[in-house]
Amino acid sequence: MNTTNQSTSSITYGQNNLRTRYKYWGKMDIEVTVTDSYGDLPMESLFSMALRVNKKRQFLFVSKLIAKHLAVHPAIALGTGSLLASLLMEKSGLQPIPQAKQIVEMIESGKACLKTSHESLAYRTVLPEKTVFIGMAETATGLGHAVFHHFDEAAYIHTTREEIIGISPAFVFEEEHSHATSHKVYAPAGMLEDAETIVLIDDEISTGNTLLNLITALDSQFPGKNYISLSILDWRSDGQKQKLEKMASASNLTIDVLALLTGEFDLNHSESPEEAEVPELGGSGNQRPNRSMQFQAIELHSATGQYYLPFTGRFGLSSSSHLEIGKWAEKMAEAVPSSEKPLVIGIGENMYLPLRFALALGGDALVQTTTRSPIFAAEEKGYPIKEKVRFKLPDAEDVDQFLYNISRADIDRIYLLAESVVDEASWQPLISYLEKKAPVEWLALTDKK
């Protein structure tokens, strides 16, 4: 598709609301209106718009905060979770995080402050009810961790798209518009049964259908809970909000929805872009992962033999266990070659550990994670996704993975964090590609069995 001089974005300002219209190559025409924003955060500091190569939903709010599709400083990604935690604290009658204003300034400016990050991460409190936090795969697993970090006497788990051998999920629900629809939750016995409040964390609520499906699935098996939804963006229309309210009323549930930015979008036109097939990465090599800093994996594994660390959150995590992540990150950072401009790359749902590791590295660190989400890429001014690469990692169920804009990152070393490496040869195309950009330190966090 010829994109030259066809991408336009017009911005108009109303008296109370900010409206932005995105028009991309006749494929998308969408108008976004913001009605409320935490700390007056401007929408352009939170997201960009892009086209998805997906017939179910052809547009995407590309977050500038969560370290998924775009590389982000870990202080900014972790600070976003801190702001959501602060919203929850205020909702619960607790004092907010003292550094909230500085975090807002950091996000708005895009300039990370390590001092602010470390000070805010030190702030922890206890909620008045027994609470379980659930982060949504794949984009909000790290965000969920970052919120949960601030609460003692609580528990965390994230949904997963992965099939785990030898265990049945506590419940399953669907995300209809996604490229990978089924979410599974492998909660340990008693975690959800004993909870009084369940906090659901996602980067974005677009229609509210996923939130409704999740609460419906939870309530059918674990009735009588209070629910709080936390997200960066909430785009639900009045009608969509009423749909959730009716469901809550019919089921006698309390559901509160909190977000950093609320508004609506009007989709005037959208269609999936035509894209030349992106070739799968080739290349070969003989690099071997650094296995010197491994931790004991849990006994469960995937169909392809992938093993898991105990503190990723996929199988449940207590507040006290979560604190071990900071110690792990510091230990890992001390054991690897130093770098002034490091890029830490995580794989799929493993987002929080790369964030904490990158923060421990210090300097002008960036973090990005591979994704299953296929986004249209174009060399066009104002468009966020300039380039992409496609590859497969059989250790991750042989699913297509993507990375975006890697060649544009200002970095001098890459740290590739793999939760599990079983088939080393299958990783060589990705590593060969990354080595063209910077030296690669490949870290396998669990041993192969």
For residue 219, the domain's CATH number is: 3.40.50.2020
**Contact call for residues 39 and 100 (beta carbons, < 8 A):** yes
Mean pLDDT of 179-195: 86
Residue 226 resides in a domain: yes
Position 371 in a domain? no
In the structure, how many helices (H) and strands (E) does the chain have?
Answer: 11, 23
CA distance 40 to 17: 11
SS3 labels along 100-123:
HHHHHHHHHHCCCCHHHHHHHHCC
User: Is residue 12 in a domain?
Assistant: no
- Encode pLDDT of 27-83 as tens digits: 888 999 999 999 999 999 999 999 998 877 889 999 999 999 999 999 999 999 999
Report yes or no on 289 lying in a domain.
Answer: no
Residue 431 lies in a domain: no
Number of domains within the chain: 1
**Per-residue tokens: 337:** 């070659």
Name the 3-class secondary structure at 406.
helix
Whether 424 is in a domain gets the answer no
Q: What pLDDT shows up at residue 16?
A: 40
Q: Which residue has the higher pLDDT, 447 or 180?
A: 447
- pTM, rounded to two decimals: 0.94
Tokens of 63: 């977050």
- Please state, in angstroms and rounded to a whole number, the distance separating the CA atoms of residues 319 and 299: 22
Token duo for residue 126: 């206890």
| 213 lies in some domain | yes
Where does the pLDDT of residue 239 fall: very low under 50, low under 70, confident under 90, or very high at 90 and above? Answer: very high
User: Domain range holding 93?
Assistant: 74-264
* C-alpha distances out from residue 38 to 34, 93, 110, 113, Å: 11, 18, 16, 19
Residue 238 lies in a domain: yes
Q: Concatenated DSSP letters for 182-199? A: EEEE-PPTTHHHH-SEEE
Name which of 316, 309, 349, 84 is nearest 193 in CA terms: 316
**Which one-letter amino acid corresponds to residue 349?**
E
Residue 4 pLDDT greater than 50, yes or no: no
CB of 183 closer than 8 Å to CB of 117: no
Q: What is the pLDDT of residues 210-238, one digit of tens each?
A: 899 999 999 999 999 999 999 999 999 99
